[in-house]
């Protein structure tokens, strides 16, 4: 009698320990002092970032003169290594031979790659998704699920304070 019970316990325990990922919000990624600074921030001009030919630039790096919180790399360490699900908008970075995106930034609002100001680094997540996803419309929100890490990264497009190893990416369905 004890042996079947132990076998059942051995089979059920791994399933119980793989709890569903926590659904988080972008505000959860802001430390308390940054959240308050965002609430206290003056109105910012969202007129656009034009290059010398009058076209929008495709750059998430910050411009000079914004409040300090807009450059913040402060993070919420409690999320480091946690399995999470978060909704956001993709900014494509790297594709495979089939045109699927293997790497992209996830940002809290659509059009972050052409609006001024871009999100602060602690509101940008660098996503690595080896399975790849087709992104036809950067104005379409996605759910991204996987392991979140506190990880500062920078490239010519943006600085990010978080990285996510995605296990699953799918169109945002509101749930």
Helix (H/G/I), strand (E/B), else coil: 66: coil
For residue 15, tell me if it sits in a domain.
no
Average pLDDT over residues 8-12: 45
Domain at 66, CATH number: 2.40.50.870
For residue 83, tell me if it sits in a domain.
yes
Provide the pairing of β-strand 82-95 with 159-171.
unpaired
Instruction: Give the DSSP per-residue string, 36-70.
Output: HHHHTPPP---S--B-TTSPBP---SPPTTS-GGG
For residue 125, tell me if it sits in a domain.
yes
What domain range is 129 assigned to? Answer: 20-171
Instruction: Write the pLDDT tens digit of every residue in 91-138.
Output: 999 999 999 999 999 999 987 766 567 899 999 999 999 999 999 998
Whole-angstrom distance, CA of residue 134 vs CA of residue 119 = 24
Instruction: Write the pLDDT tens digit of every residue in 67-85.
Output: 889 899 999 999 999 999 9
pLDDT of residue 46: 52
Average pLDDT over residues 25-35: 96
For residue 111, tell me if it sits in a domain.
yes
Nearest to 161, CA basis, from 173, 172, 149: 149
Mean pLDDT, the chain, integer:
83
The structural domain count of the chain equals 1
For residue 4, tell me if it sits in a domain.
no
How many CB atoms lie under 10 A from the CB of residue 41? 13
Whole-angstrom distance, CA of residue 61 vs CA of residue 160 = 10
pLDDT of residue 6: 40
Nearest to 120, CA basis, from 86, 165, 75, 156: 75
Question: pLDDT class for 35, splitting at 50, 70, 90?
Answer: very high
For residue 157, tell me if it sits in a domain.
yes
């Amino acid at each position: 009698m004890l042996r079947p019970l132990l076998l059942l316990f051995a089979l059920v325990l791994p399933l119980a320990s793989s709890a569903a990922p926590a659904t988080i919000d972008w505000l959860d990624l802001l430390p308390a002092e940054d959240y308050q600074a965002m609430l206290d921030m003056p109105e910012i001009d969202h007129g656009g970032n034009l290059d010398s030919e009058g076209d929008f630039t495709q750059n998430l790096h910050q411009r000079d003169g914004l409040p300090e919180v807009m450059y913040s790399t402060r993070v919420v360490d409690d999320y480091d290594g946690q399995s999470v699900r978060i909704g956001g908008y993709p900014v494509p970075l790297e594709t495979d031979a089939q045109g699927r995106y293997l790497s992209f930034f996830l940002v809290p609002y659509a059009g972050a790659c052409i609006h001024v100001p871009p999100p602060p680094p602690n509101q940008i997540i660098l996503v690595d998704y080896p399975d790849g996803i087709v992104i036809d419309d950067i104005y379409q929100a996605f759910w991204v699920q996987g392991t979140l890490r506190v990880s500062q990264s920078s490239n010519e497009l943006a600085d990010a304070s978080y990285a996510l190893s995605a296990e699953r990416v799918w169109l945002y369905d509101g749930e």
